[in-house]
Amino acid sequence: MLRRTKIVATLGPATDSPEALSAIIKAGVDVARLNFSHGSAAEHLKRAQQVRESARAQGRYTAILADLQGPKLRIARFQDNKVTLRSGQTFVLDAAMDKAAGDSSRVGIDYEQLIQDVAPGDILVLDDGRIEMQVTAVDDCSITSTVLIGGPLSNNKGLNKRGGGLSAEALTEKDKQDIRTAAQLDADYVAVSFVRTAEDLHTARALLREAGSEAGLVAKIERAELAHNDAALDDVIQASDAVMVARGDLAVEIGDAELVGVQKHIIARARALNKVVITATQMMESMIENPMPTRAEVSDVANAVMDYTDAVMLSAETAVGDYPREAVEAMVRICLGAEKHPSMAQSKHRLNETMSRVDEAIALSAMYAANHLDGISALVCMTETGATPLLMSRIKSSLPIFAFSRHPSTQHRVSLYRGVQTVPFDTTEIPNHETNARAVARLVELGIVQEGDRVIITKGDYADAQGGTNSMKIVQVGQEIR
């Protein structure tokens, strides 16, 4: 059974050896994530090269996702590196104090604009939600708060405002430099952190194109403003090529209780708007130190799969964990198990809507035929850009979609699409009347189909034209195919 849900794995010290990297790619990694919050440009370039070499050696297409840091808001540092806050005590965030002189009563902040963004009554959340404080007073250079939930607090921990509303720009100067690095390493996708509006993505895309990159853009959804505003969310989704449900900072801003419902909503909206969606953060966190996931983590991953996310993502589990290969293998097992459920082949996507694009009509018609005609074993999509297999992958199905393409960039791009596998295939070198037969013969060679199976083929009249898919044909293996 071919796995349909894709796996994104974050690279780091735990996967830097050639053996460890090769092991996680072999285990099933479809997309390698480079986290630009850590490491130098030289390290990212080296890791990207190693991914390409390892995947090529295994005959696989593993995409590269460059994840920009964004405006990570942090407190400064403590004299003794760490303090413990007590519930009920007063604690001050002071923009005027020495950035290394924090103590148990006050600490500096790196993002001084925070003073203009908060008011008495606001809730500030530190260290991924472990510390909560309520603002009691604000002056020209400091924010005074009462600690609601205390605990240990160390240097440079993250800072958020419950409910959102921070004015930090999505793209920092560091991000703009990192976009050039992403172009240099030939990233297939670039993720933009803390997206506020569609304009953030338009700016990022312009910078990417200026740097000579055609990478797809991933909008990380982690601000309360998008979670609670459907129009703004849809605008961001439509301006992107994919979205990521970035559950860490998103949960801090909206609260844990709302997270599951918001996650399901984002996945549904992305799919309705024909965009790819990744579900990320703490999916198998216990596997940083343990060789097996908890039952709760199994359920978490399985539920995302059954909501029809395109991909699930591993972060620290593979970047710094003790069991990177085992984490990928466990995720593969869970995805395959969830995909067996009968609901995974039942789709109502756009049943009651009209469409204006011919390629979308062909893509959806092919998928509905595949799901309802006996004997279909696979779909073949001749594609230049990957647009048609993307549209196909929005339809729930248990059947594999094969993107036959001559472009390595397309082959890497479709690695993120749910249910889509890629096959190198240059239609420009084959007489048009032989294309279908050669494609089916390739599936036979790969052991995907056998005599008597039916295959659906979609393509355009012109083999090398983009956006030209306008025909669908159903053929049977073993019979004459034209």
Amino acid at the residue 423: V
Angle at 451 between CA 446 and CA 453, to 5 degrees: 85
Residue in 47, 106, 196, 220 annotated catalytic: 220
Quick count: other Cβ atoms within 10 Å of Cβ 128? Answer: 15
Asked if 74 is an active-site residue, the reply is: yes
Count other C-beta atoms under 10 Å from residue 74's C-beta.
Answer: 17
Measured from the Cβ of residue 320, the count of other Cβ atoms closer than 10 Å reads 15
Q: In this structure, what are the phi and psi dihedrals at residue 381, rounded to the nearest 5 degrees? A: -120, 110
Q: Which residues pair with 151 in a beta bridge?
A: 85
Residue 482 catalytic? no
- Which of 74, 180, 350, 442 is the catalytic position? 74
Separation of first and last alpha carbons in the chain: 29
Catalytic site residue from 4, 6, 33, 205: 33
> What span, in angstroms and rounded, lies between the C-alpha atoms of 71 and 111?
9
Q: Is 33 among the catalytic positions? A: yes
Enclosing H/E stretch for 469 = strand 469-476
Q: Where are the beta strands (DSSP E) in 79-230?
A: 82-85, 90-94, 106-107, 123-126, 131-138, 142-149, 151-154, 159-161, 189-192, 216-221
Q: Which of 281, 318, 422, 435 is catalytic?
A: 281
Residue 388's nearest CA partner among 335, 332, 465 is 465
Compute the distance between CA of residue 226 and CA of residue 231 in angstroms, rounded to an integer.
8
Write the single-letter amino acid at 19.
E
How many other CB atoms are there within 10 angstroms of residue 451's CB atom? 9
Which residues are designated catalytic? Answer: 33, 74, 220, 281
